């Protein structure tokens, strides 16, 4: 079957995510037949470099032999069993290893990122309820933050395009100014700006801590805001404020966990530990939907009682799916055996060298990089810029989806020198053409 036939059938049968379906008339979806390493391949054999890791999920390439083998092995044992009333080796081993890595325990599993957000929000509220602090029902998050699209997650998200229409359905939450260093004054350092931004959080908490259950943030990088990066001092200070005001700190590391920012978890760079850690996306190397929330023992203990109602009775049918857990265990094995964090450091340094001509381009501003994320903003970009850039990049075999006027790269960690060169060269050419 040809690319065109699949495009026509998908438009008839599938409602695509985050898409105005009518726009597919002009920008049809890529019909992907298979993947190989960092590459996506269509039905006519055309190859596209997956420079954004398929929505930030893929860590070790498509059709990775080691992850494939783990899933195939698991398939012959048990594909799925409900986790209420049963348990299995993959979920136990994964929970143990995540606890060792994060210093937080009792992994509670969901499927997608948004379900992890929901779990953390509910757990926080329920903890305070179990402690008799019945008024602690509110949440505070950052302006331009993104935590998913289900109603609870959307309530703490601050992206007008996704949120405004659903306002009548959402809980009231509070947003404080983002520490995004692009918002700093001229001559103001990222660190100085982070101190200024945290002041607004302190003002809020000093007034509203009694009615606030938790603060939720994306540590170091606000992805959907256009890879907005900020100084770790914001998180260090936020941890202190949360301790002082008795408010939980939820780290949404759904996008930035598993090495994206250069450390296994981004919060490590602020020398802190959150009360709740939300993980998803890269957890299975981009293979299967899995998310989880880890928490402190003291929080877990507040639910441990004879009464069922004090327990956390939340569930999803596929909670702790064994295939997904085996994929995640294979991912953690690769991190260990291949010294991925170390390797990524030299890859990142090399890509920064290759990007030098892009950085020097007169249309490029606010060039930023942390770990395996790069982004810059394009001057004089009109409303159609991101679509035009996306389409033009595809013609050169590069799969990129700018956010507004922000072009970003978030490649799989298996990216090679020649592929990094392609990303840099095509980007430079497009900046000249568009
Ligand atoms: C920081 C963050 N939180 C939550 C989510 C939601 O995850 P999912 O799309 O898997 O529901 C995302 C997705 O991009 C995200 O970047």
Mean pLDDT of 322-331: 99
User: What is the CA(255)–ligand 1 centre distance, in A?
Assistant: 6
% pLDDT > 70, the chain:
100
Q: Is the pLDDT of residue 80 over 90?
A: yes
Assign 377 to helix, strand or coil: strand
**The dihedral formed by the CA atoms of 156, 161, 165 and 169, expressed in degrees to the nearest 10:** -10
The mean of the pLDDT values for the chain is: 98
Q: How far is the CA of 153 from the centre of ligand 1 (A)?
A: 9
Residue pLDDT, tens place only, 203-213: 999 999 999 99
* pLDDT for position 204: 98
Nearest CA to ligand 1 atom 13: 148
Query: Residue 302 — pLDDT band, cuts 50, 70, 90?
Result: very high
CB 413 within 8 A of CB 340: yes
Nearest CA to ligand 1 atom 8: 113
* Pairing of β 174-176 and β 138-142: parallel
pLDDT band for position 177 (cuts 50, 70, 90): very high
What is residue 153's predicted lDDT score, i.e. its pLDDT? Answer: 98
Is 230 touching ligand 1 by the criterion CB < 6 Å? no
Question: Is the pLDDT assigned to residue 319 strictly greater than 90?
Answer: yes
- Which ligand 1 atom lies nearest to the CA of residue 148? 6
* pLDDT of the residue at 19: 96
Atom 16 (ligand 1) nearest CA = 255
Give the nearest ligand 1 atom to 255 CA: 16
- Nearest residue to 114 (alpha-carbon basis) of 81, 144, 157, 82: 157
Q: Do the Cβ atoms of 431 and 405 come closer than 8 Å?
A: no
* Interval 211-247: pLDDT, tens: 999 999 999 999 999 999 999 999 999 999 999 999 9
Q: How far is the CA of 156 from the centre of ligand 1 (A)?
A: 12
Q: Give the ligand 1 atom nearest the CA of 281.
A: 10
**Residue 248 near ligand 1, beta carbon < 6 Å:** no
Rounded to the nearest angstrom, the gap between the alpha carbon of residue 420 and the centroid of all alpha carbons in its chain is 22
**CB of 222 sitting under 6 A from ligand 1:** no
Q: Is 67 in the pocket of ligand 1 (CB under 6 A)?
A: no
Residue 434: predicted pLDDT = 86
Q: In this structure, what are the phi and psi dihedrals at residue 384, rounded to the nearest 5 degrees?
A: -90, 5
Closest atom of ligand 1 relative to the 223 alpha carbon:
16
């Amino acid at each position: 079957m040809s690319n065109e036939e699949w495009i026509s059938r998908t438009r008839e049968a599938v409602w695509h995510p985050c898409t105005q379906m009518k726009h597919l008339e002009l920008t049809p979806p890529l019909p992907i037949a298979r993947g190989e390493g960092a590459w996506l391949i269509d039905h006519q054999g055309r190859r596209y470099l997956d420079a954004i890791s398929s929505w930030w999920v893929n860590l070790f390439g498509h059709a990775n032999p080691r992850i494939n083998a783990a899933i195939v092995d698991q398939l012959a044992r048990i594909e799925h069993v409900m986790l209420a009333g049963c348990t299995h080796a993959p979920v136990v081993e994964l929970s143990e290893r995540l606890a060792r890595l994060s210093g937080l325990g009792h992994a509670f599993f969901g499927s997608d990122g948004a379900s992890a957000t929901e779990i953390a929000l509910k757990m926080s509220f329920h903890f305070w309820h179990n402690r008799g602090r019945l008024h602690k029902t509110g949440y505070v998050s950052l302006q331009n933050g993104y935590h998913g699209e289900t109603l609870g997650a959307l309530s703490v998200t601050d992206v007008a395009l996704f949120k405004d229409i659903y306002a009548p359905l959402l809980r009231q939450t509070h947003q404080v100014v983002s520490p995004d260093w692009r918002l700093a004054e001229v001559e103001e350092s990222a660190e100085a700006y982070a101190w200024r931004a945290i002041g607004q959080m302190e003002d809020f908490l000093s007034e509203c801590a009694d009615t606030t259950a938790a603060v939720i943030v994306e540590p170091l990088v606000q992805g959907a805001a256009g890879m907005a990066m900020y100084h770790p001092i914001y998180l260090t200070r936020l941890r202190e404020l949360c301790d002082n005001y008795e408010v939980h700190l939820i780290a949404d590391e759904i996008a930035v966990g598993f090495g994206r920012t250069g450390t296994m978890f981004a919060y490590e760079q602020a020398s802190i530990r959150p009360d709740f850690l939300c993980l998803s996306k890269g957890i299975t190397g981009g293979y299967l939907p899995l998310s989880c929330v880890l928490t402190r023992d003291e929080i877990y203990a507040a639910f441990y009682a004879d009464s069922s109602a004090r327990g956390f009775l939340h569930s999803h049918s596929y909670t702790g799916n064994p295939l997904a857990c085996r994929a995640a265990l294979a991912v953690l094995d690769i991190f260990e055996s291949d010294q991925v964090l170390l390797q990524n450091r030299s890859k990142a340094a090399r890509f920064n060298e290759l990007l030098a001509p892009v950085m020097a381009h007169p249309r490029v501003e606010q060039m930023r990089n942390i770990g395996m994320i790069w982004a810059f903003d394009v001057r004089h970009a009109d409303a159609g810029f991101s679509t035009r850039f996306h389409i033009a990049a595809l013609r050169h075999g590069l799969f990129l989806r700018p956010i507004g006027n922000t072009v970003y790269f978030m490649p799989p960690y298996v990216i090679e020198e020649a592929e990094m060169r392609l990303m840099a060269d095509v980007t430079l050419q497009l900046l000249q053409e568009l």
